[in-house]
Amino acid sequence: MSDEDIDASKAPLIEHLVELRQRLMKSVIAIILMFIVCFYFATDIYNILTVPYLRAAPDPAAVQMIFTAPQEWFFTQLKLALFGALFLAFPVVASQIYMFVAPGLYKEEKGAFLPFLVATPILFAIGACLVYFLIMPMAMGFFLSMEQTGGEGQVAIQHLAKVSEYLGLIMVLIFAFGLVFQLPVVLTLLGRTGLVSSEGLKDKRKYAIVAAFAAAAILTPPDPISQIGLALPTLLLYEVSIISVRLVERKRAAREEAREAEEA
């Protein structure tokens, strides 16, 4: 390679690095702005997240939460603000990613890549809603059923939640379900690249069942409701992924047949 070729290659690389820095800066600014907004409304957001707890409690008016360290509630608000900021800023971050990689994609690849960016937050939101409206109330009902009113020969056992521990529990469940609901996106993308096939996914279904329950046991609290509640949707999404990959394969085969017919 001559010196002229080396000099010619430096300019595009520097331009890409400058553009990458600009895209990262815009993404970080979006996250910071959303963080400020979420921190301002942190108490309101936290009250919204406690609704599943209140729905499961026998007496919602009697529900109390505590913090046992002076800084605990403040740090809980920071975690909550970051959690909300990452979710709300995702469309901006995703658009910056797309605008950075789009110039290097063919027209057909752009059309294939964009739907996945749209599907990712939608599927994450569906997983979060499943936690909020179904799994969390059922899990809290299971935990609260272990309370004991007390009486003759019995000690009173009551649940008094810490604000940080409750937030940690619901955040773990939301992230776990949100990530699992990305399974069709990931497997379909792998199917487009040819790394997986629908037949291969069907053949590995028994391993997927074991992996789904193992992942649910790791990602969720040690209660049967949340574990089964995560494992079953995972298996359903795996079946959806098989169908999606099969459709990708059929479209690829149709394009290849059309290309062969044109060449002939």
Token representation of residue 25:
């800066």
CA 76, CA 46: separation in Å to the nearest integer?
9
Encode pLDDT of 48-105 as tens digits: 999 999 998 888 888 889 999 999 999 999 999 999 998 889 888 888 887 887 776 6
Per-residue pLDDT tens digits for 183-239 = 998 888 888 878 888 899 999 999 999 999 998 888 887 778 888 888 999 999 999
pTM of the model: 0.82
Which residues fall within 8 angstroms of residue 50, CB to CB, at 6 or more apart?
A: 63, 65, 166
Average pLDDT of the residues in 243-259? 84
The mean pLDDT of 244-253, rounded to a whole number, is 86
**Residue 59: per-residue pLDDT:** 84
Report phi then psi at 215, rounded to 5: -65, -40
**Residue 139 neighbours by CB distance under 10 Å:** 25
Find, among 53, 39, 188, 183, the residue nearest to 124 by Cα. Answer: 183
152-168: average pLDDT:
86
Nearest C-alpha neighbor of 112 from the set 170, 56, 185: 185
Q: Which of 59, 222, 56, 212 is nearest to 134 (CA)?
A: 56
pLDDT at residue 5 tops 60: no
Which sign, positive or negative, has the C-alpha torsion 233, 234, 239, 245? positive
Predicted confidence at residue 139, as pLDDT, reads 87
pLDDT the model gives residue 105: 63
